[in-house]
Structure 1
Amino acid sequence: MSESYSTLQEISRRFDREDLALVAHHPDLCFTINSYELFTHHVFTRVKRQNPDKSITQESCRIVIQSEECEDALHLYPTWKRIEERVDFEATQEIERAIEVLASRECKHIYLLFPRSANFKRHVPIRSPKLDAMGLEYTLKLVPYVIY
């Protein structure tokens, strides 16, 4: 479990609403919430709840879904980056990193998860000339993830 999430859990156990309101208005104190950590935790718990028959683990920056029927695991990379206009252009760095992971043959299937936005509502499959030239079988998708 992430440090920021466990800290928020501990704070919610020890303080009631009035205590938090008092602390929030104190001029010398501030809260820092790691949005990436919270988004990753949200994705992990939701995927685990929706797939009780699969083995789901959270590693440093990815969530791995492994089923008994399929030997190839699906790797989810949650990213707290808002896509405003063009997903293929705004996610260039993430796509390049995913292509490097696929080229190293560490895995075959990667989904890059981003928060859903007005201009990013559908899965976008990505093809790489580099990976195609290597003759690899792979899946690389940009996926909008609903937060509610």
Structure 2
Amino acid sequence: MEKLHKPKKVFVPGAISPQFIADSIAKHQSKVNIGAHAIFLGQIRADEKAEGFVTGIEYSAYEEMAEQTFHEIREDAFSKFDLICMHIYHSIGLVPTGEISLFVFVSSGHRRAAFEASEYIVEQIKTKVPIFGKELVGPAGEYIWKENK
């Protein structure tokens, strides 16, 4: 696969803040060739388990391998969809329930490409990137490996 774009750092420590998301959107106002943005935000749910409710997820990864896989997903999406730009950020470390752990932001001239690319990218991340999550559950703070759904 020909590398068209330079690799970008994807991992951010802890939760992805609403301010970071807002700033990312604001930076694109000057790009007047963009007609559509699609944004996916993955949020931590307080699922109920036998041990209690999930209070957060602790993410870990083989970072170098994961960053390379993210880059390959980006390149693949750029080759499949008519995109102008793309940003992917994923949390590493503990993210409490209610907070954002995945931010996928794609921009294109038209909405269809943005919608389709966003869904494609999220599915590729879920199936290919070596990221591991342990759910923090219950009052004792027990860790349980997360099932990727």
Bucket of the pairwise TM-score, normalised by the shorter protein: under 0.3
When you count strand as a share of all residues, which structure comes out higher? Answer: 2
Q: Which has the larger radius of gyration?
A: 1
When you count helix as a share of all residues, which structure comes out higher? Answer: 1
TM-score by length of 1: 0.27
